[in-house]
Amino acid sequence: AGAFLQPVQLKKKIMNKKLFAVIGIAGAITTFIIFKVRQRRLAQLKGTAARQIFQLTGFRGDFLKAELLTAIELALKCGLAVRECDASRREASFKDGTDGIDPVTKTDQDNEDLVTSTIQHRFPGHAIIGEEASAASGKIVSTLGDLSHPPTWIVDPIDGTQNFVHGMPLSCVSIGLCMGGRPVLGVVYEPFRDELFLALEGQGAYLVSLELSTARRLFVDGVRTLQKALVLTDPGYERSEEGVSKMTSAYATLLRERVQALRVIGSTVLSICWVACGRASAFVIGFHKEGGKSWDYAAAYVIAKESGASFTTIQTTTAESKPATNETATSFDIFGSSCICAGTTSLSNQIRSLVTR
């Protein structure tokens, strides 16, 4: 029996050695990957990644280059904070009271403070509209005309805060710049997929994969009919009886008209960016009084417009809040609450006609 067991024991020893060797190699590979990731993150924090990313795109010339590099650098730093924060930094207080639905976290506030202080230092003549500062002061710029002078940055330090608070990996950082009364620069960073959306007015939009170190020019999917469209939407903070009734009625109409898919991802900024890159055909929000805010639209608007998307509103932004006509709906205002962003005007018109019945 001893003679029989000896080869078996020897075989086990050999197998164990091979197993330990495999484990050792796997450990070394894991350590190397972690090291490379940390190197990349360190480069992002030092700001060197912004210049490398710029070179991946087709942007040319020096106009807004300094502003774009700054926005990229800040978006990466803020995104890193979102991705790597612990549970304590996801704890939320609520802007609308104890049982509220509009959360803010320490990470939101720290991100906005970083963006604000950096922009004030590098571009001292520029104005800044930040979500958290606006909420704290209760003062929000309300018309596009107010942005005519000086150049104005519009910042959402974390869009999709509800997702962030609950640990859902669908949040992003949004930094937009308006000049001459219109959005001209957009940077959106989604840290969980390590994707960076960039756009400059007149120079196109790009999606940069930081993991792969690649960039591709963005174009919408070109879908023209509801029956072939994946439509994104978001109930947002609408909780009034009339608002919920209008919203559910609009959703029911889209479904009855056989929209191919209706989805909610919980981030207005990402929803518009996903239309820009062809992952969705359209995005619609703001069926009643509650909808998007300027920090939801500013950066994403430039990205989607430069990708070929069209923008309209469901309703006007006037004090009377009258429903928009076809004429008034053609001019999109980032300070309005409602938005239909679609890859084609044909699809946009179909959606608008259905949700305003």
Which DSSP letter does residue 332 get? Answer: -
Quick check: helix, strand or coil at residue 285? strand
Q: What is the Cα–Cα distance from 277 to 354, expressed in whole angstroms?
A: 25
CB atoms within 10 A of CB 236: 23
Length of the chain: 357
| b/e 262-300 (16+ beta carbons within 10 angstroms → b) | eeebbbbbbbbbbbbbbebbbbbbbbbebbbbbbbbbbb
Q: What is the Cα–Cα distance from 294 to 336, expressed in whole angstroms?
A: 8
Alpha-helical (H) ranges within the chain are: 2-46, 48-56, 65-84, 106-122, 131-137, 161-165, 241-256, 268-276, 294-306, 345-355
User: Is there a cis peptide before residue 150, judged by omega within 30 degrees of 0?
Assistant: yes
Positions at the binding site: 131, 156, 158-159, 296
Strands 152-159 and 204-209: unpaired
H or E element that contains 207: strand 204-209
Q: What is the Cα–Cα distance from 49 to 64, expressed in whole angstroms?
A: 17
Distances in Å between the alpha carbon of 163 and those of 92, 116, 139, 158, 320? 12, 24, 26, 10, 33
Q: What is the Cα–Cα distance from 52 to 198, expressed in whole angstroms?
A: 13
Q: What is the Cα–Cα distance from 165 to 89, expressed in whole angstroms?
A: 9
Positions at the binding site for Mg(2+): 131, 156, 158-159, 296
Which burial class, exposed, middle or buried, applies to 356 when counting CB atoms under 10 A from its CB (0-12, 13-18, 19+)?
middle
